[in-house]
Amino acid sequence: MTQDEFIATHTGYKMQNNPTMSESTSFMYESYSNAPTNFDWRDQNTVTPIKYKGRCGWMMNAFDYISQNQGITTEKSYRYQQMQETCDTQINKVATISDYRMVPENDEEALLKAVTNQPVSVALEGHGRDFQFYNGGVFTGDCGNSLTHAVTTVGYGTSEEGLNYRLIKNS
C-alpha cells in the first residue's frame, strides 16, 4: 500500500470547530492524587476489542450523537455497520455523557491523571511512514504534530527497557 493509499484509508480525524468544544472547561487534575506509575483500563474489563471503522475519524460526531440521543446501547444489541442510515434512537441506553473536560495540550501529567479517571480520546499524527509500518510494541518512530488520526488512550506505563508509553486503542 502506498503512503497516499494508507492516508486515504487509515486516517480520518478532522479538526472541527464545534461550538460544544468552546463550552468545555479544562480537566481539573489538581483534584487527583499522583498518577500511579502504570495503569491499564483493559485490566478493568472496560475496553472493547478493536474494530475496523473504515474512514471514520470524527470524535466530536460520536460525542454529539451520544449527547443528543441521551446515550448509546451495547454493540451486542445494535451492531455497527459501516453505512449511512437512520439509527433507532429508542433502543435501551447503557451509557450516557453528562459532561466532558479538555486535557491541556502537551501536559503529560494531566493526561496520565485523566486516563486514571477514564479512557481519553486523543488525536495523533497517523500518516507518517513510521506509523504506517508500525506492527507492535512501544512505538519509537517520529510522532510529528499534524493531527490526522483519532484514538483512545486506555493506559500507560514504562517498558522493561525503560521507555515510557501510552496504551492506545485504535478504532
The beta-strand segments (E) located in the chain are: 25-26, 39-40, 101-102, 120-124, 149-158, 164-170
Percent of the chain with pLDDT over 70: 77
How far apart CA 106 and CA 46 sit, in angstroms, is 26
Cβ atoms of 124 and 147 closer than 8 Å: yes
| Residues whose CB falls within 8 Å of the CB of residue 117, separated by 6 or more in sequence, listed in order | 32
Q: Model pTM?
A: 0.70
3-state secondary structure of 14: coil
Count of beta carbons in the 10 Å neighbourhood of residue 15 = 10
Position 22 confidence tier, pLDDT thresholds 50, 70, 90: very low
Q: What's the pLDDT score for residue 129? A: 85
Count of beta carbons in the 10 Å neighbourhood of residue 56 = 15
Write down all domains in the chain, each with its CATH number in brackets. 3-57+103-170 (3.90.70.10)
Torsions phi, psi for 44 (to 5 deg): -95, 5
Question: What are the pLDDT digits (tens) for 25-69?
Answer: 555 555 555 788 999 999 998 888 776 666 555 566 677 778 888
